[in-house]
Amino acid sequence: MEKDAQTKLLETATLLFAQKGFHAVSIRELAKTAKMNSALISYYFGGKEGLYQEVLEDQFTLIASLLESLESMPPLSPLEGLRMYAKNIAIIHRQRPFLTKFLMSEIINPTPCGEKIIKKYLSKVFLFIRTTIGQGVASGEFKANLNGDYATISLAGIMNFFFLSKPIFQEFTSLEEGGEGDYTSQAIDTFLNGIIRREDHE
């Protein structure tokens, strides 16, 4: 019973926070929508802030699991590592459709209770991509003059902006439902073609 109540509150909070943002959602609205006593929010999560933090952890924990999985695999080439990362990020976005909303909300209007969590996970992503790109430069696979920080931010933006803007672009483009995999393949190919070292250019 306790698990059911916590799960219901978490699911309700995820939807409301994603739609309205942290500040616009009240404890009363959370409890009313979940059809539960508001005291349960404090009992299980320590209050609205604790519930929001739990929502963020639930949204981003799959990314941490992905990075841990990639690091535990047999060594991949930098190209293979970035392709594997991109492919699985697309899968995570399908599993967590509100992920980019929470990310952008915290970037544009950070909350004291959410900023720390966002930075924790973004720093893990940045470290993985930056390290992988650095390995590619060191091995001669990527351009020697590549700015690793800029390239890392570029890849992160390419992988996330599509999922944030897709609902708008679908109104006036040929984007199809379920086309995330095709986008990811093309996007990562375009990115890698821009950073791969070619003898005739260097």
Task: Give the tens place of pLDDT for each residue, 23-72.
Answer: 999 999 999 999 999 999 999 999 999 999 999 999 999 999 999 999 88
Q: Is residue 32 part of a domain?
A: no
Q: Is residue 18 part of a domain?
A: no
Q: Of 91, 104, 81, which Cα lies nearest the Cα of 180?
A: 91
Q: Residue 116 belongs to a domain with what CATH number?
A: 1.10.357.10
Q: What angle do CA 199, 146, 138 make, to 5 degrees?
A: 70
Q: Is residue 91 part of a domain?
A: yes
Q: Which domain holds residue 176?
A: 53-201
What would the pLDDT profile of 149-199 be if each residue is shown by its tens digit? 999 999 999 988 888 877 777 677 776 666 677 888 899 999 999 999 876
> Which of residues 68 and 202 earns the better pLDDT score?
68
Q: Is residue 195 part of a domain?
A: yes
What would the pLDDT profile of 98-139 be if each residue is shown by its tens digit? 999 999 899 888 999 999 999 999 999 999 999 999 999 999
Tell if the pTM clears 0.75, that is, is over it: yes
Q: Is residue 149 part of a domain?
A: yes
Burial class of residue 142, CB neighbours in 10 A (0-12, 13-18, 19+): buried
Q: Is residue 12 part of a domain?
A: no
The total domain count for the chain is 1
The widest CA-to-CA distance across the chain, in whole angstroms, is 68
